[in-house]
Amino acid sequence: MGEIFRHPALLYSGERDYLDGTLSFVRAALAAGDPVAVAVPGPNLELLRSALGQDAAAVDMIDMHVAGRNPGRIIPRVLAAFVDAHPGASRVWLVGEPIWPGRSRQEYPACVQHEALINMAFTGRRVSILCPYDVAGLDPAVVADAKVTHPIFRRAGKEEPSRAFAPEDILNAYNKPFPAPNPESGAMTVLAFTGADLVEVRQAAAEQAAGHGITQERVDSVEMVVNELTVNSVRHGGGSGTLRLWAEDGFFICEVTDQGHLTDALAGRRNVGLSVNGQRGLLLAHSWSDLLRMHTTPAGTVIRAHFALRDPLTTP
């Protein structure tokens, strides 16, 4: 492992294949005395925990159904958080499985963009991140995307470089305008805002969310996300914007449009302090929403924050 940063995709089919690929990676980390974490969906997490036996106690075990429900949280709150917690390690190892059968069509673009951004977030750091892909359960197009977002792929114990590796192509390909809201979804609230209207639009979002039966804790999250996004619009998006609120496909959606252009692909994916303009607001918006999608061009930016109408942790 001569490279400083490594980001292989593990293409597996079936339980045995999965264990062969992930256990060899985890045990190599343990044999080297390096820190290692496993962030995979709950059933696979229990499979690995059982297979590791007593060695599981030396591994950070993270349920990706919970920690990675919003793919935009994974880099700052899971991967970078673990790496940053071990500054003296010769290498930090992680198994991260952000894409699994059952991920929705709304979530997938954010998932594949996340995989592309990993390459930017950890370049130059002594980190290895193995990303399993279930080739039997995932659409072939997802597996093809994995070869674009990963410089190496492994299958059946063999490793080879990916000739398709081009993560920036993925960022561009999935930076698309959002589909129009379904007209059958019901009424939509549309509010234009400037800096003088921030309290009003924040309260309107909270009232609309409560009207859709979201718990008070989740209503508070809606209010905080709308606050962060609209404040960013006023400060960095031309001084004004438009907030749209509606419910669709099991989500309460808050869409903020402004005239700004997000040119930093990792904005909102870094664990930043209060002094970093704009990025902290996006970081918090990722943390509090169940899904955050962005479409940005020189003509303006649209951000959609999704909040599950049902508890997303009970329906992975």
At residue 316, the pLDDT reads 36
Average pLDDT rounded to a whole number, residues 279-301: 94
Residue 312 clears pLDDT 60, i.e. is over it: no
At residue 311, the pLDDT reads 67
Burial letters 172-201, b for 16+ CB under 10 A, else e: eebeeeeeebeeeeeeeeebebeeebbeeb
Residue 149 clears pLDDT 70, i.e. is over it: yes
Average pLDDT rounded to a whole number, residues 35-59: 97
pLDDT in tens, 119-130: 999 999 999 999
Q: Count of CB atoms within 10 A of residue 158's CB?
A: 7
Q: Which domains does the chain have, with CATH numbers?
A: 5-173 (3.40.50.300), 188-314 (3.30.565.10)
Cα distances (angstroms) measured from residue 75 to each of 94, 116, 229, 285, 310: 12, 11, 20, 14, 25
Q: Which helix (H) or strand (E) holds 241?
A: strand 240-248
Residue 297 clears pLDDT 60, i.e. is over it: yes
pTM: 0.93
At residue 310, the pLDDT reads 80
Residue 242 clears pLDDT 70, i.e. is over it: yes
pLDDT in tens, 255-286: 999 999 999 999 999 987 644 555 689 999 99
Q: Count of CB atoms within 10 A of residue 15's CB?
A: 12
Residue 315 clears pLDDT 50, i.e. is over it: no
- Per the listing, tokens 């996340």 go with 114
Average pLDDT, the chain: 94
Nearest C-alpha neighbor of 79 from the set 116, 128, 10: 128
- The residues, any chain, with a CB within 8 Å of residue 71's CB and separated by 6 or more, are 98, 107, 110, 111, 113, 114, 291
In the chain, the amino acid numbered 142 is V
Range scoring the smallest mean pLDDT among 146-150, 196-200, 310-314? 310-314
At residue 279, the pLDDT reads 66
The share of the chain scoring above pLDDT 90, in percent, equals 91
Residue 133 clears pLDDT 70, i.e. is over it: yes
Average pLDDT rounded to a whole number, residues 27-55: 97
